[in-house]
Amino acid sequence: MVNKTSILSKQLAQTPIAVPGSPFWEVFKTFGRDEAYAWIFNTLGTLLMEFALISWLTIGAGSHKIVLALTGPIIEKFGFFIGHFKDAHNIYKTTPLEDREKLSVYLKKAFKAGSKSLTYDLLVHDPVYIIIMLVGQYVLPTTPAWVLAMSSFVAAVFIVAGLDVGVQELRYFLFKLKLKKLGFESEKYLESRFLISSKQNPAKLIKEFAKEFGLKKTRSINYYDTYYKNKLKTYSGRKPKLRLRKRTATKGDWFKTVQVTYNIASRIESKTFEQFNFFPQRKEKIYFVIKEKMPLNIEHVKNKKIKHFLINATNNKQEKNTPLKIQFERFFAFGPELVICVDKIKKLKRDFYVVELKTHRDQNLLKEAMRFVMMHYPVVQTTHGKLEIKSNSKHK
């Protein structure tokens, strides 16, 4: 087998597979954590205020009860920000110096995330709490109040998790609709990726694979990609990439596009024990065809609406948004349902090829193809794309 550390940077070698958690459970855990912090603040704040009222604050009995009743709900709001500020500090400390922004940037994002949890608390948890407490006392009068309170907490966390995922999917749909109105087209497919030593003959690999899966057409083309850091949003774990792409077209000309890609990796679950694990990615390529001469960068895109979108989508700090250019030669074979590609990335110090398998809809076929590759060739399965591989590798 290929030695991971010999062909990958330390970072990619340690985590060749990166699969995000379920969007539902990620929200469930985050909002549940924020609610737990809020409960701690509520309890401690109420206890401290009660101690203060008994020890040195002198107010009337009626006012005493009102102050105690209001202290918890007010103090608990600070709890919604603690976890996010802690996360922001950790990200700031672990981000490489060359990519690190000011601490205030991360704190601003943390405040925004905490505000989101606080909003959900006000709009969902508080009403659910009131309803369960009122209904519970009438329908189940013998049920302890703390059981009703805990039930409201669990119910609210489930509701918020489902609601948040639904909102994210709606926003993703509206974002794609916006791009469609600008003239973008889209394509969805499943793909898997492997790294293989360049000592292997790509033509032989393609030939053997094509024979096994009945692929008839083989050829090679050249790709020139320019990637930009972007401010596009992540939707339910789908991560965005923004690039200009130029590749050899069928008739020898160039096929030029502006592309926004969203992909998310997952693990194919199996009811039986398998020798291999399978980590394909669901990818959606949203592209705009450029009919004029290939622009040097996004500033030179002639279509004003597309140019405006690209400028807004990229970071403003030019010194931190130097485009990353990736050039590679692709050898491939394809049939109606399956494609295999062997990509040779140029000007890359580490000596390996990237093998990609693609299918539009047939997950079982993709799994069968992945199994064939892992059984017959010395490969390392990865969910990282060429952008991550190139940016984590030293150029010659």
For residue 241, CA distances in Å to 212, 244, 385, 387 come to 33, 10, 10, 9
Q: Cα separations (Å) of 207 from 105, 190, 216, 339, 345?
A: 51, 22, 10, 12, 20
In this prediction, residue 62 carries a pLDDT of 60
Q: What is the pLDDT of residue 18?
A: 81
| DSSP assignment of 173-232 | HHHHHHHHHHT-EEEEEEEEEEEEETTS-HHHHHHHHHHHHT--EEEEEEEEEEEE-B-P
Taking domain 183-391, whether its CATH number is 3.40.50.150 is answered by no
Contact 118, 77 (CB under 8 A): yes
Q: What is the DSSP letter of 238?
A: B
pLDDT of residue 11: 52
Q: What is the mean pLDDT of each run of 10 residues along the chain (396 residues)?
A: 47 71 91 91 82 71 68 85 94 85 91 94 88 83 79 91 95 97 96 91 90 87 93 93 88 86 91 87 96 90 94 69 88 92 84 92 94 93 88 56
Residue 386's nearest CA partner among 341, 333, 319 is 341
pLDDT at 396: 42
Tokens of 29: 């855990």
pLDDT score of 239: 92
In which residue are the tokens 């592309």 written? Answer: 259
Whole-Å CA distances, 204 to 155, 333, 382: 57, 12, 22
Residues whose CB is less than 8 angstroms from the CB of residue 234 and which lie 6 or more positions away in sequence, other chains included: 240
DSSP string, 40-86: HHHHHHHHHHHHHHHHT----HHHHHHHHHHHHHHHGGGHHHHHHHH
* CB neighbours of residue 127 within 10 Å: 13
Query: In the structure, how many helices (H) and strands (E) does the chain have?
Result: 12, 9
Which residue from 86, 91, 79, 85 is spatially nearest to 31, judged by alpha carbons?
A: 79
Where do the structural domains in the chain lie, given as residue ranges? 23-177, 183-391
Q: Residue 285 has what pLDDT? A: 97
